Amino acid sequence: MLRLTKRSEYGLMALAFMAQSGQAYTSVREIVAKLRIPRRLLAEVLKDLSFSEIVEAVRGPGGGYRLTCPAEELSLARVVEVLEGAGTVAQCTDGSRCDLSPSCTIQEGINLVAQRVKSVLNDFTLAELSDCTTPRPQPVSLAQGLAV
Amino acid sequence: MLRLTKRSEYGLMALAFMAQSGQAYTSVREIVAKLRIPRRLLAEVLKDLSFSEIVEAVRGPGGGYRLTCPAEELSLARVVEVLEGAGTVAQCTDGSRCDLSPSCTIQEGINLVAQRVKSVLNDFTLAELSDCTTPRPQPVSLAQGLAV
DNA sequence: AGAATATAGCATGATTTTAGTGCTCTTTCA
DNA sequence: TGAAAGAGCACTAAAATCATGCTATATTCT
Ligand code: SF4
Ligand code: SF4
């Protein structure tokens, strides 16, 4: 349906939360308390993200998760890819071929679309994602002008 | 999963096919024969497209479907919207609100992403979609032309 | 050492979405 | 009037997604 899964959304919400929490470790408990999302599922998502080294985990008191890189350098594409696989838009866009490809006349076109969609995700950083709602003042035009 | 449904793909394939068939009416039978996709499902898709006036239908011998506007003027966005609804990327992007929106910190960001994705779809016309594969003379077309 | 905190790991059931299909009716053209 | 072609209708099957409980292991602090 051209939608992100909840997994991705939860993951992004959590990451955005962490991005704002500075560089301290953030526990699942905290995130769940603030964001009101299923604890168990979030835990799994974060585990995956930790496995892919998008976040690092520390156990024990005071532990939790933390971004491994600045939010400005983490693209949505990377997160989404980890959380729901490489392919977007259609099935043939991640290398795996579909039964119809021999008779499919739009394969190349679709792949082009997929590429563009992906580049949207690639150009969108976690920083931007959380900045949109961060209680920051809005010198938006300036910031954008410089950032882009 | 950020994927189009089969409905959309089938629809697009069919439309692309029609775009290449000139302005003659094309029957479901023909399309199915060439494209090897489920007949019944395609019929339903085309019915929807006809309801939304993306194609027009004519019954009876020699009838079928035909694009109502030049392929250059039909955006993927329009087709996809008809076939799988307005929302993309997340649930809150089509107006309907989700339970989490009060605590969701990324809503605006996601909406921005959705907007961009949508504009990718908006800028992509059916003409482009089929052009990607059209200009290439197919080495297989001979065999196909004779076989079918 | 022991208590408390927090992630890691595991399997399964419920729900939702998507895909697929058969048959009959109506319209249109020759 | 007969053949072609879309219109309408309801259901089943399969897959993806969401959600959840419990135990184990690692870390820190007292
Ligand atoms: S080959 Fe065609 S039908 Fe198959 S996934 Fe790609 S675009 Fe879709
Ligand atoms: S409000 Fe947040 S969680 Fe709900 S659909 Fe929008 S982005 Fe996703």
Closest residue by Cα to atom 6, ligand 1, is A92
Closest residue by Cα to atom 1, ligand 2, is B101
Determine the CATH number of domain B6-146. 1.10.10.10
Q: At A96, is the pLDDT very low, low, confident or very high (cuts 50, 70, 90)?
A: confident
Least Cα distance to A88 among A120, A56, A41, A136 occurs for A120
Mind telling me how many Å the CA of B63 is from chain A's nearest CA? 23
Q: Give the tens place of pLDDT for each residue, B125-136.
A: 999 998 875 444
* A116 chain-B contacts, CB cut-off 8 A: 120, 124
> What mean pLDDT is reported for chain B?
89
pLDDT of residue B97: 84
Q: What torsion do the CA atoms of B42, B48, B54, B57 make, to the nearest 10 degrees?
A: 70
**Residue A144 in this model has a pLDDT that exceeds 80:** no
Least Cα distance to B18 among B34, B36, B7 occurs for B34
pLDDT of residue A136: 45
Instruction: Identify the H or E element spanning A147.
Output: helix A140-147
Mind telling me how many Å the CA of B29 is from chain A's nearest CA? 15
Testing ligand 2's pocket by substitution, the residue of B99, B107, B112 carrying the most ligand atoms inside 8 A of its CB is B107
A109·B9 Cβ contact <8 A = no
β-bridge partners, A67: A55
Q: Give the tens place of pLDDT for each residue, A26-62.
A: 999 999 999 999 999 999 999 999 999 999 999 999 9
Sequence spans of domains, chain B: 6-146
Tokens of A105: 């006349």
Q: Which residue is nearest to nucleotide C18 (CA to C1')?
A: B5
A-contacting residues of B 105-134, CB under 8 Å? 105-110, 112-113, 116-117, 120-121, 124, 128-133
Q: Which residue of B has its CA nearest to A20?
A: B105
C-alpha span between B125 and A121 (Å, rounded): 21
Buried b (16+ CB within 10 A) or exposed e, A24-49: ebbebebbbeebebeeeebeebbebb
**Residue B144 in this model has a pLDDT that exceeds 60:** no
Taking the centre of ligand 1 as the mean of its atom positions, its distance from the CA of residue A109, in whole angstroms, is 10
* pTM across the whole model: 0.88
pLDDT of residue A133: 58
A90·B9 Cβ contact <8 A = yes
Q: Are B65 and B53 in contact (CB under 8 A)?
A: no
Q: At B9, is the pLDDT very low, low, confident or very high (cuts 50, 70, 90)?
A: very high
Q: Who contacts A75 (Cβ-Cβ below 8 Å, separation ≥6)?
A: A121, A122, A123, A124, A125, A126
β B64-67/A64-67 pair status: unpaired
- Segments of chain B assigned E as strands: 55-58, 64-67
pLDDT of residue B133: 58
Q: Give the tens place of pLDDT for each residue, B37-66.
A: 999 999 999 999 999 999 999 999 999 999
